[in-house]
Amino acid sequence: MLTKILGAASTLALFAALSGPVVAAPVKIDFWYGNSGDISKRVQEQCERFNASQSDYQIVCTSQGSYDASLQNTIAAFRAGQQPTIAQVSDAGTLDIMLSGAFYPANKLMKDNGFDVNWDDYFSGIKSYYATSKGEMNSFPFNSSTALLYWNKDAYAKIGRDHGPATWEEAAADFKALKAAGYSCPLGFNVSRDEVWQLEEQFLAVHGEPNATLNNGYDGLGAEMAFNKGKWVQFVRDLKGWYDAGEAVLKSKETGQTFVEAFAAGDCQTILTSVGDHGNIGRTAKEGMNWDVAMLPVYEGTERKNSLVGGASLWTIAGKSPEEYKAAAAFYNFIAKPEEALTWSTVTGYIPVRQSGFDYLNGEGFYDKAPYKGRELAIQSLTFTPPTPVTRGQRLGGLLQIRQEIANALQAIVIQNADVQTSLDDAATRGNAILRRFEQTYAGKTLP
C-alpha cells in the first residue's frame, strides 16, 4: 500500500515539474480605427510592435473602413454592450463622443493605472482640441496633422520662383504664370466634404477668423456658423476665378486622378493637403521630380495665426473591466514613447504630438533627411502662435454634416456657377439647422 502511495506521489510530482507554473493568458482588448489603405497597414504594424514588446496584454486592431464608420460602429456596439476598449474618433466627431459620456477620460485612466503623464508635453494646438475647458485630456491625440501647401520646385523655377507662395496674392500671380508657361494644372483641388477641412477650416484658423460664433462652439451649444462673413468669401471668389481661367483644376477619383496623385505625377504643380500625405507623395512622386512644402498662404495684411490639428484621437470606451483598462493604459504609454513617435512619423507622415517626441526626432536628425525634410513646417504652423479662442479647434455638433453642406455650396459655385455669397449664406443656414438639432438632442448639457 505504501509503495502505491509513494508511486502515485512520485507521478504527481513529475507531472507538476513537467507542467511548470500556470501562465495567465494575456488580457485581450479591441481597438477599432477608421484608417484604410497604407495608413491601416501602419496602424497594424504599431499594434504588432506593442504586442511584441510585452506579454501581459494583446491588442486586436480592426479597421472599420472610415472615420464615420469607426464612430457609428462604436456607438452601436456600445448600445449593444459589445464595444471595443479603444476607438479612434476623427477631429470632427469630438463633440459627439464628448457629450455622449460613454468614455473613460484619458487623464483619469492613466492616473488610475499608475502612469504619470506630463500633459503639458502635448503641443498646445493639439491639446486644446481634445481637452476640456479646464485643460483635462479626454482622449489621446493619435494620427495628428495639419494642412500645408505642396509645390513643384521645377515648375516654379520656370516662372522665376524659388519658394512657394506666402500670400494668396502671390499664389494668384504664380498660378497665372504657370498657366502661361504651359502647365495645364497650376493648382489641383477638390470640393468634396473631406477637403473642407483644409480649404475652409484651416484657412479660417490661419487668418484668425471664426468658423462659428461662441468661439467655434467652445463657449456653448448655441453657436451659429460664421464662415460666410469674412475673408473666406473672398478666397472662394478667387478659387472660382482661378477655376474659370483654367488655373485651378478639379481632380478627384471621379476624374480618374485625385489631386494628390496628380501632384505626385507632376500633372498639377500646387496642391493643399495634409502633412499626412507627405510620406505617400514621397513614395509615389515622379522620378526626378523636385518638390517641397510651405505653410498655407494668407492674404496680405493678415496677422498669421496657428493652424488647426486634424486627424483623430483615441478614446477609451466606458463599460470595460479594470484589467482591460490597464491594457489600454499600457498601450497609450507605449505609443507615447519618443522612439515610437519616430517610427510612426517615419512610416506615415503624421507629426509627433508631444514636444518630447519632436525633440527626439530633431535629435535623430529626422528632418535633415531628404524624405522627411519639410514636415517640421507642420509643427511650425501648428505652433505659429499660441491658440486663440478661435484657433484652438472646433466644438460643433454634426461637424461632418456641416462640412457636407459647405462642400455642396462649393460644388454649386465652382461647377454650376451659383452666386458665391448666396450659396455660402444658404450653406450657413443649413449648418445652423444642424447645430440646432444637435443642441436639442443635448438640451441642458454643459460643455466640459
pLDDT of residue 151: 98
pLDDT of residue 5: 41
DSSP per-residue letters across 200-246: IIHHHHHTT--SBHHHHTTT-TT--B-GGGSHHHHHHHHHHHHHHTT
Mean pLDDT, to the nearest integer, of 59-70? 94
4 pLDDT tier (thresholds 50, 70, 90): very low
Comparing CA positions, the residue from 392, 390, 373 lying closest to residue 382 is 392
Residue 3, pLDDT > 50, answer no
Comparing CA positions, the residue from 262, 271, 274 lying closest to residue 242 is 271
How many whole angstroms separate alpha carbon 172 and alpha carbon 169?
A: 5
CA distances 321 to 33, 120, 316, Å, are 21, 29, 12
273 three-state secondary structure: strand
Mean pLDDT, to the nearest integer, of 342-355? 90
Residues 6+ apart with CB under 8 A from 422: none
Are 297 and 270 within 8 A, CB to CB? no
pLDDT of residue 8: 45
* Joined grid coordinates for residue 202: 484651416
pLDDT of residue 22: 56
Mean pLDDT, to the nearest integer, of 384-412? 95
- Structural domains in the chain, CATH included, are 27-144+311-368 (3.40.190.10), 147-308+387-441 (3.40.190.10)
Residues 6+ apart with CB under 8 A from 407: 191, 192, 193, 195, 196
CA distances 227 to 133, 236, 258, 295, Å, are 24, 11, 26, 21
Neighbours of 139 (CB within 10 A): 27
* pLDDT tens for each residue of 118-151: 999 999 888 888 988 888 999 999 999 999 999 9
Are 242 and 439 within 8 A, CB to CB? no
| Backbone Cα Rg of the chain | 25
CA distances 26 to 46, 51, 122, 130, Å, are 18, 10, 31, 30
pLDDT of residue 101: 86
Q: What single-letter amino acid sits at 422?
A: T
How many whole angstroms separate alpha carbon 288 and alpha carbon 266?
A: 10
